[in-house]
């Protein structure tokens, strides 16, 4: 082990630089530089951010401003300059960067003779095993999802149906947008932010990434997919239910029951030591056994057209993937199990829960009713 190797990570202006958040305890709206060494970690932030960075960063993190690194003027904001100054300050002999590090900065450092290479491995493999404290934070976000889900389902479930099968609440037509707004407001009451929440009915729901818009109708399957992010902690929740106001056609009800049973079958396989692919292949087999084919019709992919799930943590999609990645489940993993079926003309159904893998199997992060028909 070379004690003088350091790993540089660069936070963008995105809230998704979660490895840095995980390792440093610090996040900021503006880009900043992070250096991890075997002994101590370093942050380079603007003078404005220094106080907050010192307060929020993990113990043993040294916080510098560019001027404290001897940089001044326009040059002080340039990341290559900051890296070169920090290499000197931290006395590391060899610098590494993550494989998603910006190529432009990497090349600039090479040109200036910096001994730098790509850290080929995962930066924080430990992230996929959640600590007790993390599970509590994930549970809080998932409870927010469940609270918003219950309210969203109740709004749809209690809507009045007119002769044209349109849903109404009071004197107003009920749209995807209205349900979404109520869901987002409920999430705010739980100190979470909901963005891109899906409330999609009928054929809209057969495109799993369509958020949904416009009038909602009785008799159609309406997918609600809620993924709140805690504003305080950054941890996510993820939950999907499918509901129908009024009576569903028999083949739609059958579709729903197939998804529900398949989720249960997939969940039954979840335990430490199994390959996550097995959860996915179980879902696939169960759909096939029930006669639901996944295929391309007129250029559209129909049936079970996505993976069965993904890890949830500081990222909404993280390791382990529940699909074909070959990852082995371990106790402490937090994953979604979310099979779905999508057939234009009939409808889309997805049921998703986020579960924690336990020594004995799994448990829900937060419970929430599964009711399809709201009569």
Q: Give the residues lining the site for its own copies (CB under 8 A).
A: 12-16, 28-30, 46-52, 74, 97-107, 118, 120, 177, 181, 184-185, 188-189, 191, 193, 195-196, 207-210, 231, 296, 299-301, 305-306, 315-317, 324
Q: How many Å apart are CA 222 and CA 156, to the nearest integer?
A: 9
Nearest-approach distance from CB 154 to its own copies, in angstroms: 18
Q: What do you get for the CA distance between the two ends of the chain, in Å?
A: 65
The answer for residues whose C-beta is within 8 angstroms of residue 40's C-beta and 6 or more apart is 60, 61, 62, 90
Nearest-approach distance from CB 74 to its own copies, in angstroms: 6
Nearest-approach distance from CB 46 to its own copies, in angstroms: 8
Smaller CB distance to its own copies: residue 47 or 328? Answer: 47
Element (H, E) at 364: strand 362-364
Q: Supply 354's token pair.
A: 């986020």
Nearest-approach distance from CB 13 to its own copies, in angstroms: 6
Q: How many Å apart are CA 222 and CA 205, to the nearest integer?
A: 7
Tell me which residue of 273, 274, 272 sits closest to 362, measured CA to CA. 272
Smaller CB distance to its own copies: residue 210 or 373? Answer: 210
Tell me which residue of 281, 274, 355, 272 sits closest to 311, measured CA to CA. 355
Nearest-approach distance from CB 187 to its own copies, in angstroms: 9
Q: Are 96 and 6 in contact (CB under 8 A)?
A: yes
Q: How many Å apart are CA 130 and CA 36, to the nearest integer?
A: 21
Is the CA virtual torsion 340, 341, 345, 346 positive or negative?
A: negative
Tell me which residue of 87, 73, 93 sits closest to 33, measured CA to CA. 87
Smaller CB distance to its own copies: residue 101 or 217? Answer: 101
Q: Supply 72's token pair.
A: 């001044």
Q: How many Å apart are CA 347 and CA 201, to the nearest integer?
A: 8
The answer for residues whose C-beta is within 8 angstroms of residue 156's C-beta and 6 or more apart is 167, 174, 179, 216, 222, 243, 245, 374
Smaller CB distance to its own copies: residue 254 or 306? Answer: 306
Nearest-approach distance from CB 182 to its own copies, in angstroms: 9
Is the CA virtual torsion 195, 196, 202, 207 positive or negative?
A: negative
The answer for residues whose C-beta is within 8 angstroms of residue 206's C-beta and 6 or more apart is 302, 342, 343, 344, 347, 348
Smaller CB distance to its own copies: residue 181 or 253? Answer: 181
* Angle at alpha carbon of residue 193, lines to 188 and 197, rounded to 5°: 110
Nearest-approach distance from CB 360 to its own copies, in angstroms: 31
Smaller CB distance to its own copies: residue 70 or 104? Answer: 104
* Angle at alpha carbon of residue 287, lines to 286 and 292, rounded to 5°: 150
Smaller CB distance to its own copies: residue 1 or 103? Answer: 103
Nearest-approach distance from CB 92 to its own copies, in angstroms: 18
Strand, coil or helix: what is 9?
strand
Smaller CB distance to its own copies: residue 51 or 70? Answer: 51
Nearest-approach distance from CB 348 to its own copies, in angstroms: 11
The single-letter DSSP state of residue 86 is H
Nearest-approach distance from CB 235 to its own copies, in angstroms: 15
Smaller CB distance to its own copies: residue 326 or 367? Answer: 326
Smaller CB distance to its own copies: residue 105 or 365? Answer: 105
């Amino acid at each position: 082990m070379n004690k003088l190797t350091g790993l540089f990570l660069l936070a963008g202006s995105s809230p998704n630089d979660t490895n840095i958040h995980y390792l440093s305890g610090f996040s900021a709206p503006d880009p900043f530089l992070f250096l991890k060494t075997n002994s101590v970690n370093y942050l380079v932030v603007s003078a404005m951010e220094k106080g907050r960075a010192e307060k929020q960063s993990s113990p043993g993190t040294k916080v510098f401003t560019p001027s404290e690194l001897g940089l001044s003027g326009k040059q002080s904001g340039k990341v290559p300059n900051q890296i070169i100054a920090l290499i000197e300050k931290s006395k590391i002999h060899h610098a590494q960067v993550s494989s998603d590090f910006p190529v432009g900065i990497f090349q600039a450092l090479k040109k200036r003779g910096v001994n730098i290479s790509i850290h080929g491995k995962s930066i924080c493999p430990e992230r996929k095993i959640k600590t007790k404290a993390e599970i509590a934070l994930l549970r809080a976000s998932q409870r927010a999802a469940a609270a918003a889900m219950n309210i969203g389902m109740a709004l749809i479930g209690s809507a009045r149906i007119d002769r044209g099968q349109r849903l109404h609440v009071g004197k107003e037509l009920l749209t995807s947008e209205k349900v979404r707004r109520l869901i987002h407001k409920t999430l705010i009451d739980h100190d979470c932010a909901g963005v891109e929440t899906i409330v999609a009915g009928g054929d809209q729901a057969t495109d799993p990434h369509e958020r949904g818009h416009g009038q909602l109708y009785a008799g159609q399957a309406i997918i609600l997919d809620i993924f709140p992010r805690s504003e305080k902690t950054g941890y996510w929740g993820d939950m999907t239910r499918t509901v129908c106001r009024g009576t569903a056609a028999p083949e739609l009800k059958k579709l729903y029951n197939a998804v529900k049973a398949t989720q249960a079958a997939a969940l039954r396989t979840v335990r430490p030591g199994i390959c996550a692919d097995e959860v996915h292949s179980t879902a696939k087999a169960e759909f096939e056994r029930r006669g639901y084919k996944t295929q391309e019709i007129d250029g559209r992919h129909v049936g079970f057209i996505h993976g069965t799930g993904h890890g949830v943590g500081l990222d909404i999609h993280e390791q382990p993937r529940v699909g074909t990645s070959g990852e082995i489940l371990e106790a402490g993993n937090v994953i979604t199990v979310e099979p779905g079926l999508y057939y234009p003309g009939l409808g889309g159904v997805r049921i998703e829960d986020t579960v924690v893998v336990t020594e004995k199997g799994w448990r829900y992060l937060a419970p929430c009713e599964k009711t399809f028909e709201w009569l």
